Amino acid sequence: AQKVTQAQTEISVVEKEDVTLDCVYETRDTTYYLFWYKQPPSGELVFLIRRNSFDEQNEISGRYSWNFQKSTSSFNFTITASQVVDSAVYFCALSEAHTGNQFYFGTGTSLTVIP
Amino acid sequence: DTGVSQDPRHKITKRGQNVTFRCDPISEHNRLYWYRQTLGQGPEFLTYFQNEAQLEKSRLLSDRFSAERPKGSFSTLEIQRTEQGDSAMYLCASSLSSSGATDTQYFGPGTRLTVL
């Protein structure tokens, strides 16, 4: 079974629009970690954020914000006022305490921001 | 502070040949990971090292795949007798271990393998 589901395969938005990327995870561990990475066309995965299962506070970093809801097993990512440079594939990942440092990635959401 | 580097960036080989990829982690990082990423998919975990010890290798795809980190610094991933299905991006990541918590992994640019 897929541990991380990113149901949105591709999203296109016009520059300056807000966009939310969904991530739903599945785990039986009570201690786990969630991550978001950005993969631009160059291919290198860029770390964006890390969250542990005991910290449900939402986080904002500039135009980026994350909404972690354990009740729905979701860790969604919102980009406000999107820019062309935000065009990339975004991956959500899960790490469970009992498997240590193995990351389980979703299939990614390809975001295209149209100027 | 330099990031994770991988060499080569691209490799084209013929089916049946052996290939070896190298990864140099961020200098103070003691953990190193290998992932495979096929088109349209997220990275898939293969193996990881803490210093020179390979702590997890059950996820290596077959016995044709092997990895080493002999001195706890750089690592190599070897694929023997390559098959067309091995064509993929091979990603390396590194992290600094923190007790009792999962590390944040920092990724290199990857090596794109094409098997003809």
Among B58, B66, B57, B55, residue whose Cα is nearest residue B97: B55
Q: What pLDDT sits at residue A55?
A: 86
Is residue B33 less than 8 Å (CB to CB) from chain A? yes
> Residue A6 corresponds to which tokens in the numbers above?
């990113």
Q: Residue A38's Cα: distance from chain center in Å?
A: 8
- Chain A residues touching B33 at Cβ < 8 A: 101, 103
> Residue A103 corresponds to which tokens in the numbers above?
């990351």
Cβ atoms within 10 Å of A115's Cβ, excluding its own? 8
Q: Three-class SS string for A93-110?
A: EEEEHHHCCCEEECCCEE
- The CA distance from B90 to B10, in Å, is 10
Q: SS3 of A70, please?
A: helix
User: Nearest Cβ partner of A91 from B42, B109, B112?
Assistant: B42
- The CA distance from A96 to B103, in Å, is 11
Q: What pLDDT sits at residue A58?
A: 85
Separate counts of helices (H) and strands (E) for chain A: 0, 12
Q: What does B3-54 look like in DSSP terms, one character per residue?
A: --EEE-SEEEE-TT--EEEEEE--TT--EEEEEEE-TTS--EEEEEEETTEE
- Chain B residues touching A23 at Cβ < 8 A: none
pLDDT at B1 over 70: no
Per-residue pLDDT tens over the stretch B59-103? 888 899 999 998 889 999 999 999 999 999 999 999 998 765 678
Per-residue pLDDT tens over the stretch A24-82? 999 999 999 999 999 998 889 999 999 989 988 888 889 999 999 999 999 999 999 99
